Amino acid sequence: MKFKPLRLSLLTLGLVTTACGTGAKSTLDGHYEDATASGMSAFRGKQVVPAEYAKSDAVIVSSELMTSYGREDLVKAIMDAGVKKVWVTTSRGSGLTLQSSTFGRLRQALGTHINKVSVVEQKDYGQVTVWARDWAPLGAVTASNELRLLDFNYYPRREADDATARSFAGLTGITRVSVPVYNEGGNFMNNNRGECLMSTRVTDANADVFKAGDMVLDAEDIKQYYGEFAGCEQTYIFPRMPTEGTGHIDMWAKFLNDDTVIVGQISNETLSYASSSNRSLTQQIQRYLDARARDIADLGYNVVRIPMPVPSAGLFRSYTNSLLLNGTAIVPQYLRGNSGSYQDQALLRSYEAEARRVYESLGYKVVFIPSDGMIATGGAVHCVTMQVPAVL
């Protein structure tokens, strides 16, 4: 499948990144999990990743979404958006089934739709985290509408999470394609023209050898792998957000259709609510977001700004961290901080109203999910879900 490329390149904008760390290419063959470079070569150029707003058949989440965060309401919203299946990953040896007391509230929330849920036990021992977006396989589709699971490398010390793609391939028989690039799903956005967005988190992650077989990859290497295995005709890598721990692009930007990208915005009114100790950081993030909005507009996209609340050390509330599912936008809602209120508590209703207006103006039905607990640990709705594209 071929896509129409954008007019401008990162080189034109001065945004292309170079390798960090060692700065030298490794001679190793590549970290292919339970696969080889020669075996994976058969899949080169054979599949593309549909945009998140394309039709989805299923969503992957973790049992931690229920056990640690009590977000059965998010699973219900996913079901209400018309998926055929929700896969819930659990740790190896957990013994969890849908009849377990752990899923009692989920059974109550879903009613007869509980039969659309399947439990997937991981292949490797270790605690499965809640961040399904980052460790779940990326669904891709071939020209003959065959679903494939793209298996990117995940953190070396999170073997259970990293085994997710292998677990799903074994359960479903869906072909798994190992790609020897370290990148989390939260640092990948794309449209249906093969235009893909990331931050320099991806170049940071591939700048050193972490385990046997790893290659040192620079921006051009990474773009080549995404082009060959995910159908990215153009890959744009932007500077990561300052001081934000994940480095993921989903914390500040998101495609809502092929031509439109929403980008977070800190207004001057929001800035006025930042405490004196937090004002400098808030201004820094404000300037960063404005610069990225200009960069993306210069690439030819329609950029729509959406509120970003006051950031603080380790806490970046985001309305771009949503899940687009069959015409529904499941959007984070922020109600009250751990200390009882946020610095900008008085603006929460106006933030939410504007976020709703932005999504609805682009044709989405909006469902809000309380996300204070999740965002306090580094993510929200997008971070804890991974959609699986529909096939004919």
The closest alpha carbon to 312, from 335, 293, 290, 339, belongs to 339
Please give the residue range of the domain that contains residue 277. Answer: 10-389
Mean of the pLDDT values across residues 175-183? 97
Which of 157 and 354 is assigned the larger pLDDT? 354
Rounded to whole angstroms, how far apart are CA atoms 72 and 66? Answer: 6
For residue 49, is it within any domain?
yes
State residue 30's pLDDT score. 78
Rounded to whole angstroms, how far apart are CA atoms 243 and 184? Answer: 18
Q: What would the pLDDT profile of 79-122 be if each residue is shown by its tens digit?
A: 999 999 999 999 999 999 999 999 999 999 999 999 999 999 99
pLDDT band at 4 (very low <50, low <70, confident <90, very high): very low
Output the domain CATH number for residue 338: 3.75.10.10
Residue 10 has pLDDT above 80, yes or no: no
pTM of the entire predicted model: 0.92
HSE-up of residue 301 (Cα within 13 Å, Cβ side)? 30
Q: Mention every residue, 6+ apart, whose C-beta is less than 8 A from residue 134.
A: 154, 161, 184, 185, 186, 248, 383
Q: Mention every residue, 6+ apart, whose C-beta is less than 8 A from residue 41.
A: none
For residue 4, is it within any domain?
no
Proportion of the chain above pLDDT 70, given as a percent: 92
Between the two ends of the chain, the Cα-to-Cα distance in Å is 16
Residue 4: CB atoms within 10 A of its CB come to 11
Residue 25: CB atoms within 10 A of its CB come to 12
State residue 212's pLDDT score. 83
Let me know: does 181 contact 206? Beta carbons within 8 Å: yes
For residue 3, is it within any domain?
no
pLDDT band at 5 (very low <50, low <70, confident <90, very high): very low
State residue 392's pLDDT score. 61
Let me know: does 234 contact 222? Beta carbons within 8 Å: no
Q: What would the pLDDT profile of 372-386 be if each residue is shown by its tens digit?
A: 999 999 999 999 999
SS3 299: coil
For residue 1, is it within any domain?
no
Q: Please state the domain count of the chain.
A: 1
For residue 214, is it within any domain?
yes
pLDDT band at 9 (very low <50, low <70, confident <90, very high): very low
Q: Mention every residue, 6+ apart, whose C-beta is less than 8 A from residue 5.
A: 193, 194, 195, 233, 234
Q: Buried (b) or exposed (e) across 287-318, using 16+ Cβ within 10 A?
A: ebbeebbebbeebebebbbbbbbbbbeebbbb
Let me know: does 231 contact 191? Beta carbons within 8 Å: no
330 in the Ramachandran plot: left (φ > 0), alpha (ψ -120 to 50) or beta?
A: beta
State residue 20's pLDDT score. 31
Mean of the pLDDT values across residues 180-199? 97
Q: What would the pLDDT profile of 139-156 be if each residue is shown by its tens digit?
A: 999 999 999 999 999 988
